[in-house]
Amino acid sequence: AQSVTQLGSHVSVSEGALVLLRCNYSSSVPPYLFWYVQYPNQGLQLLLKYTSAATLVKGINGFEAEFKKSETSFHLTKPSAHMSDAAEYFCALKRGGGNKLTFGTGTQLKVEL
Amino acid sequence: NAGVTQTPKFQVLKTGQSMTLQCAQDMNHNSMYWYRQDPGMGLRLIYYSASEGTTDKGEVPNGYNVSRLNKREFSLRLESAAPSQTSVYFCASSEVAGALTDTQYFGPGTRLTVL
């Protein structure tokens, strides 16, 4: 069975500090991985996706993620946090050729002055 | 280009009442999905429709029915609402469900409370 684990349901950083949101996956076949962001009272918006073309994936708003097969991880980073980054972030996994996305439980990011 | 739209935005029901959540997309996508979002549980797939005329159960289908009315519209029906169905419901669509790089696009959600 495939699954996604997001470590830390709440992460707090200072404005300007590094953002690191952790995602580990379990999949018996090569996965396709996604990060979504959800701003308050809104739907989910795609930040970036890994589809095996490159292990370092750049997304919108300065976010990037690195796929590490040996660590079964796909952590999301941003060098310098901005107040506008405060939101909930979801990691999701899709098996190649499948229809379904499996979501992690989400990480709420708080950015403090 | 509105993307994925959902109605209503908010709804309060009494136990046993029925209602239909509406979803429409204008991106000419083939596949559509219904998820529910509960605190600490992420999003869970209720039903999906890989293409017009087909529907399949997801992870948590009990208590729900769906209709793929046409290529644009995919509705979710609660026949007899229960408090356990209090949740935020998201509709999503994607171009081709089985494609490797298929990306799902989400609507703004419907916040449902069942008393």
Residues 6 or more apart in contact with residue B34 via CB below 8 angstroms: B21, B23, B45, B46, B47, B48, B58, B64, B66, B74, B76, B89, B90, B91, B92
Cα–Cα distance measured from residue A37 to residue A106, given in angstroms and rounded to the nearest whole number: 9
pLDDT band at B98 (very low <50, low <70, confident <90, very high): low
Taking an 8 Å cut-off on Cβ atoms, the answer to whether A98 and B50 are in contact is no
Between B4, B42, B50, which is nearest A103 by CB?
B42
pLDDT value, residue B32: 93
pLDDT value, residue B2: 79
Taking an 8 Å cut-off on Cβ atoms, the answer to whether A44 and B106 are in contact is yes
| Minimum Cα–Cα distance from B49: chain A residue | A99
Q: Tell me which of A44, A47, A49 to substitute to probe the interface with B (most B C-beta atoms closer than 10 Å).
A: A44
Please state the rounded mean pLDDT for residues B29-58. Answer: 91
Q: Is the pLDDT of residue B87 over 70?
A: yes
A21/B102: higher pLDDT: A21
pLDDT value, residue A96: 55
pLDDT value, residue A100: 77
Taking an 8 Å cut-off on Cβ atoms, the answer to whether B104 and A98 are in contact is no
Taking an 8 Å cut-off on Cβ atoms, the answer to whether A43 and B103 are in contact is no
pLDDT band at B103 (very low <50, low <70, confident <90, very high): confident
Q: Got the DSSP string for B43-84? A: EEEEEEESSTT--EE-S--TTEEEEE-SSSBEEEEESS--GG
- pLDDT tens per residue, chain A (113 residues)? 778 999 999 999 999 999 999 999 998 777 889 999 999 888 899 999 988 778 899 999 999 999 999 999 999 999 999 999 999 999 999 865 566 788 999 999 999 99
Residues 6 or more apart in contact with residue A58 via CB below 8 angstroms: A48, A64
pLDDT value, residue B97: 61
pLDDT value, residue B100: 62
